[in-house]
Structure 1
């Protein structure tokens, strides 16, 4: 017969804005599977725009909240009807990029929503005030590109690297910087703290932008198998980008675990570590998270040569791969829209800061190490009509990628 406890565990409330998105759903799952600490457990709520997606969250044990960020008052009331206090707020929305003005407005609206929730949380009528930790998602494309693998001028990007964003992520980057500035300007008492999380491209499950790589290889194989090319003796997978292009991705589950590691550090760790004389030698806990930027990247980068070889083997290219070819050598039936942002965007990113502070590390195989499983997962998600795949396709079709 089992024993009973005198007290029940208490919830640490987490609100994920954009919980049905590719990253948002992974973050929600990561918080739910995190082990309890000090008799606390993470209770996850997910904000989504449409009622049709709420059931998918509920199946994952995420409590759905339906509302539009553009209707700040209404959505705030919907969120606060579940709880007046929020321990962690994660922003990982991804608005449409077809209208830059509307996208910039979206990030402003998210910030207004977060400010309102933080004020309500800090002034809750019962118990002590709760000041939310806000984990604001941006991305490593904020830094721009690095040199290629093997280039003597190659230098990794760190959190202190200059910002030189690709135009497709500029609004997102600026929104994250505004959130940092607003949180930092609070005087007297801080209603909320912000940490910006910049992850490298993520893969796994429905694939995110790496899904374009699977589609490209499949389309290339189909083109070479057509009647027109049946006389070819060796099937070669070709890329316009250089073989030494650095592709520094990370599995989406590993990335999501990084968010949880930051939240656990801020909520459950002591604020500093002292030496034998009592002097503070290193910030810990919330003091080490608030106002900071954290990169999340894989334990090592891979090159396009590695990824290309894995794709060629997976899709049956007997002649392996060629790189740096002219666009004229790509079958005209293949849509290459946005492909350079996947295969041609060279970037090496340092993530030692989050590793050293929290002990977080990535564990899943790299994209080139487990290509078959990742391909099968992507194709299954595509065939089931995964909404996130459709969103990626729509973004890839936009002129902003050029």
Structure 2
């Protein structure tokens, strides 16, 4: 059989929660996979996953300049998986500069890359609660109505389409992700663990609040499906990534009560939600149903992993193992929680 040359992909933030899952998915699919990381310490774990590590940063102007002049930095696909929520625009601008520099290098050898740029489904804002009148899912046609914390991301992510002189682009909007080191589902495990000692799980949201999550590995497979799809179909498109159905807070809370053996059950106290940014509230109280029919139709993707409430024990143990190992992504979420609470400095989330 004739051999085909394997394609190459660069994943920025390849040691981050989404970025690492995406990079590993490309490796499994047979791509030559490069991971861009800022810290030397992260390179060993990438090598263990057969990801070729590149030490550098979009904010390092010297690195960007060198990258544009190195013929080994030629990629069929570039995936952006980093953001700085608290200071989004400067990081976005640096990322665009890097992507353009790398695309220029690829263009010189006749290659037009595809850039897959990561945003998020919270850019649409909330939907109604489960069972509410007129409830419908957000789709790629829905207007953007992001909460204040995410306005910069919502408005800037789509500007990636302004750079089609050098590359084709796709914008990805995943729902909140779960699994492995936990991401923003991690803090709810911490709350449940404390509730098992207190005797009651208190949640500051309506039990009918919609929690539409996706396993991070399913999400990563969607990136690969887009990269391998007919370019004429996907270029210039936005795609939402969401699980096959949404869960309600009641489903999740009942699973947590059973898992942690919380004798007093759960109490819903939406009137006690804190003012300002509350990470757990953004998970449990940000009621949102997101459709992913366009992605499923265009590239044939489907999610395979169990829903969060269906396998909460498995996901709990994975999170606890990550905490014990002081996993970098657990520390990043803890840092984000401190920032949201007004304690700590800005950090990059991935």
Measured against the shorter chain, the TM-score band is: over 0.9
The normalised TM-score by structure 1 is 0.81
Residue pairs, 1:359-374, within 5 angstroms: 359-374=300-315
Residue number in structure 2 paired with 1:198: 173
Work out the CA distance in 1 between the residues paired with 2:246 and 2:71. 42
3-state SS, counterpart of residue 296 of structure 2:
helix
Shift of 1:384: 0.5
Displacement after TM superposition at 1:291 (Å): 0.7
Whether the 8 Å CA contact 1:338–1:397 is kept in 2: the answer is: no
- Counterpart pick for 1:219 among 181, 190, 194: 194
CA distance in 2, matches of 1:122, 1:61: 27
Q: Is the 8 A contact 1:65 1:78 kept in 2?
A: no
Write out aligned runs for 1:285-324 (5 A). Answer: 285-324=230-269
Cα displacement string for residues 231-284 of structure 1 (whole angstroms, at most 9, x for unaligned residues)? xxxx3322110000000000000000000000110xxxxxxxxxxxxxxxxxxx
CA positional deviation for 1:77: 2.0
Instruction: State the partner residue of 1:177.
Output: 158
1:327 matched residue in structure 2? 272
In the alignment, the residues of structure 2 paired with residue 326 and residue 357 of structure 1 have an alpha-carbon distance, to the nearest angstrom, of: 42
Q: Is the 8 A contact 1:76 1:117 kept in 2?
A: no
Runs of 5+ consecutive residues of structure 2 not aligned to the other structure? 343-350
1:260 is the counterpart of 2:235: no
Shift of 1:366: 0.2
1:310 Cα offset (Å): 0.4
Question: 3-state DSSP class of the match of 2:172?
Answer: strand
Q: How much has 1:148 moved relative to structure 2?
A: 0.3
How much does 1:298 deviate? 0.3
Count, aligned residues: 341
Cα RMSD (Å): 2.1
| SS of the residue 2:31 aligns to | strand
Aligned residue among 210, 219, 234 for 1:246: 210
Residue 214 of structure 1: SS of its match in structure 2? helix
Gaps of 5+ in 1: 35-40, 225-234, 266-284, 331-335
Give the structure 1 partner of residue 138 of structure 2.
Answer: 157
Q: Give the TM-score normalised by structure 2.
A: 0.92
- Bigger Rg, which one: 1
Tell me, what secondary structure is at the counterpart of 2:82? coil
Distance 1:217 1:82 in 2: 51
| Cα distance change, pair 300–86 in 1 and its aligned pair in 2 (3 A) | same
The residue correspondences of 1:355-394 to structure 2 (distance < 5 A) are 355-394=296-335
The answer to whether the 8 A contact 2:46-2:52 is kept is yes
Could you say which residue in structure 1 is the equivalent of 2:35? 46
Tell me by how many angstroms 1:393 deviates: 1.1
User: What is the SS of the residue equivalent to 1:90?
Assistant: strand
* Kept in 2: contact 1:134–1:195 (CA 8 A): yes
Contact map agreement 2:182 2:319 (CA 8 A) in 1: yes
